[in-house]
Structure 1
Amino acid sequence: MKEDSSNYSLYDEEDLVTAFQVSEDMRAFEEIYKRFWFKLYNAALKRTTSQQEAEELIQNIFERLWANRRKAVIHNIGAYLAVSLRNILHDHTRRRMTAEKYRQTLDTDPLVNTTEEDVNRELLLKDIDKTLRELPEKTQTVFRLSRFENKSVREIAGNLDLTEKAVEYHITKAIKLLRQRLRGYMSAFL
């Protein structure tokens, strides 16, 4: 080690590691941080999506370095930090890919989509029912027979003692109101 223990910038890397590991000298650790932070940060920034992620990863490296100061075997601090960066970037990438796969699974999971579709269908049916209740009873009945029970115009006319023209009128009237109230939302259904 150098004679002047107050000026760590004059220490070589081996002496800094010794002061940091053996004496737990915080100023030696700070000097290591100053010497390597920017280089590690730039390397991390090239492999991450943001400055914030890169900063967090480098912070994690130095936190681990301090936490493991007594048990880490460090022959070359630059190489040690480079390997630490490679490992932390690998872990970070793996976690990000796992999270992305999970998100994709949620997007394509038939159970998730089915549940969402079921909820949307229920909301749509409630809106349709609410809108239909505003119509005269005969128009509601004709529309429900036509669209919910898949009865033909002829069958509805025969069952309700109406002309086919009257059945078509009631269906058209219901559709017109639904289109006004549920714009665009109903085009696939109708």
Structure 2
Amino acid sequence: MALNQLTDNDLLALLRDDDEQAFRELYDRYWYKMYVIAHRKLRRKEVAEEIAQELFVMIWQKRESLRVINLQAFLGVSLKNLMIDYIRRNIKEEHYLDQLRLFFPAETLATSEAVQFNELTEAIQATLAQLPEKTREIFILNRFEHLTIREIAQRLNLSEKTIEYHLSRSTTFLRKNLRDFATVWLLYYLS
């Protein structure tokens, strides 16, 4: 029997036995549907493609332990969770980018300055992404949401010394990795 005539459950059984053709059939059967749903919700083609792809990478990686009764429901819930994770990550990033834009409104910058500002913004974003999650979160709360050490400690249920440690770690890391962008603003903002 051809793979395209098998049920989802039959394909999942084959997938658990490392059958790449069964995986390909599931991928061909559902990838576009998952992409359309993600695109409809997120309205960003590249992000929707990435999330749909991530969903199937997860399925392949967990194929041996995957126990699914209703594949379409499983795909829908998994896709929803991936989209929520994406939105949560980007809310923080968008917030701090908005803060940067407020500090340096792009309309007031000359073309070369706007290019330099965009490069700096991208460099800060990329450098922050390299920090451990907790350190990054504390830095963003302090520098972009303007919370005090005490407020952050209370919000995250950590000691003030721990918050100070993470802030010191993040500013040192940013200074080191952004030294090419050592502008007066950056030196002021990270001190």
TM-score (norm 1): 0.52
In 1, Cα distance between equivalents of 2:22 and 2:70: 15
Q: Are 1:35 and 2:32 an aligned pair?
A: no
In 2, Cα distance between equivalents of 1:66 and 1:37: 13
Partner of 2:15: 20
Letter in 1 for 2:84: H
In 2, Cα distance between equivalents of 1:91 and 1:62: 16
In 2, Cα distance between equivalents of 1:49 and 1:98: 19
Q: Are 1:9 and 2:4 an aligned pair?
A: yes
In 2, Cα distance between equivalents of 1:35 and 1:50: 22
Q: Count the aligned residue pairs.
A: 108
In 2, Cα distance between equivalents of 1:93 and 1:51: 15
In structure 2, runs of 5+ residues without a counterpart are 106-191
Of the three residues 30, 47, 57, the one matched with 2:51 is: 57
- For the Cα contact (< 8 Å) 2:15–2:64, is it kept in 1? no
In 2, Cα distance between equivalents of 1:52 and 1:108: 27
Based on CA coordinates, which of the two structures has the bigger radius of gyration?
1
Partner of 1:140: none
Question: 1:145-169, CA deviations, whole angstroms, 9 ceiling, x for partnerless residues?
Answer: xxxxxxxxxxxxxxxxxxxxxxxxx
Q: CA deviation at 1:28?
A: 0.6
Partner of 2:178: none
* Pairing of 1:121-160 with structure 2 (within 5 A): none
Q: CA deviation at 1:8?
A: 0.3
In 2, Cα distance between equivalents of 1:37 and 1:66: 13
In 1, Cα distance between equivalents of 2:14 and 2:102: 55
In 2, Cα distance between equivalents of 1:97 and 1:73: 33
User: How high is the sequence identity, in percent, across the aligned residues?
Assistant: 30
Letter in 2 for 1:89: M
Q: CA deviation at 1:50?
A: 2.0
Q: CA deviation at 1:73?
A: 2.2
Partner of 1:91: 85
Q: CA deviation at 1:105?
A: 3.0
TM-score (norm 2): 0.51
In 2, Cα distance between equivalents of 1:13 and 1:59: 19
RMSD in angstroms over aligned alpha carbons? 2.4
In structure 1, runs of 5+ residues without a counterpart are 114-190
Find runs of 4+ consecutive structure 1 residues off by over 6 angstroms. Answer: none
In 1, Cα distance between equivalents of 2:80 and 2:88: 12
Q: CA deviation at 1:41?
A: 1.0
Letter in 1 for 2:24: E
Partner of 2:66: 72
Q: CA deviation at 1:49?
A: 3.1
Q: Give the number of the structure whose residues are more often helix, by fraction.
A: 2
Q: CA deviation at 1:108?
A: 4.6
Letter in 1 for 2:4: S
Letter in 2 for 1:104: D
